[in-house]
Amino acid sequence: MRSPCVPAALALLAFTPSLLRAEDVATEARAKAEPAPTTRNFGNLRVGGSTANGNGRPELCLELSPVAFLSVESCGTGSGFLHGDPEPEVAHFRAKLRLASFEVERWGTFQPFLAGGFAEAQVGRDDPGFQFSGTDKRRVATTGPEGGLGLRFLRPLAAGFELVGDFNFSLAWLPHAPELIQPGDTWLPSASLSFGVGF
């Protein structure tokens, strides 16, 4: 008499390749449906807001990344370039060092970073250049070192482009800010949030 387990075992062996193939097909279909995660951003343009700017204008940021772990960016309202309003503004010029990169399924890539550079505070229409050792002649602008940390978010869109989000905290030391025609604090903390498109 044949054991009832033998036919069941034979049937299981016969169907195993089909089940494995079906699982492979499902995995391939899922991979085609979901865009590949983005871990490398070469450049992006973002728009957002910063607590350092009380003039009501959006903050614009341009970021370029010559190597995967390091980028340089410039952020500000575009004063003197896009508009001539003499409203108070703080512009940031910094390098960002990526600390890690991790994927969150169905969300995208998250990249914490450290930032270092300098900030320029201006309370009116300033002259070209940066004033690290004081203020400009009209006492409307001064510059000082800045450091910070933040988190970048990348989500694939299409054709090599991605949605880019950036949230960061920074602290600038502006030793000559009290000498401006509208005196400011020596220490300037700020937080900013911006979103845009990159490749």
Query: In this predicted structure, what is the pLDDT of residue 134?
Result: 94
CA dihedral of residues 8, 13, 16, 18 (deg, nearest 10): -100
- Bridge partners (DSSP) of residue 112 are 151
- When pLDDT is cut at 50, 70 and 90, the band that residue 5 belongs to is low
Of 39-43, 47-51, 72-76, least confident by mean pLDDT is 39-43
Report the half-sphere exposure of 122 (CA within 13 A, side-chain side).
Answer: 24
Instruction: Taking the CA atoms of 87, 93, 99 and 103 in sequence, report the sign of the dihedral they define.
Output: positive
Q: Which residues contact 9 (CB under 8 A, 6 or more apart)?
A: none
- Is the pLDDT assigned to residue 52 strictly greater than 80? yes
Record: fold of 43-198: Porin (2.40.160)
Query: In this predicted structure, what is the pLDDT of residue 112?
Result: 98
Tokens 């250049």 map to which residue?
129
- Is the pLDDT assigned to residue 38 strictly greater than 80? no
pLDDT digits (tens, 9 = 90+) for 92-128: 999 999 999 999 999 999 999 999 999 999 998 877 8
Query: In this predicted structure, what is the pLDDT of residue 49?
Result: 95
- Is the pLDDT assigned to residue 86 strictly greater than 80? no
Q: What is the mean pLDDT of residues 173-195?
A: 97
Measured in degrees and rounded to the nearest 5, phi and psi for residue 157 equal -105, -80
- When pLDDT is cut at 50, 70 and 90, the band that residue 82 belongs to is confident
- When pLDDT is cut at 50, 70 and 90, the band that residue 16 belongs to is low
Q: Comparing C-alpha atoms, which of 123, 125, 114, 132 is closest to residue 174?
A: 132
- When pLDDT is cut at 50, 70 and 90, the band that residue 83 belongs to is confident
Q: How far is CA 36 from the centre of its chain?
A: 19
d(CA 51, CA 194): 12
Strand-strand pairing, 108-122 and 89-98: antiparallel
Q: What residue ranges do the domains of the chain occupy?
A: 1-33, 43-198
Bigger pLDDT: 4 vs 152: 152
% of the chain surpassing 70 pLDDT: 79
d(CA 116, CA 99): 13
- Is the pLDDT assigned to residue 41 strictly greater than 70? yes
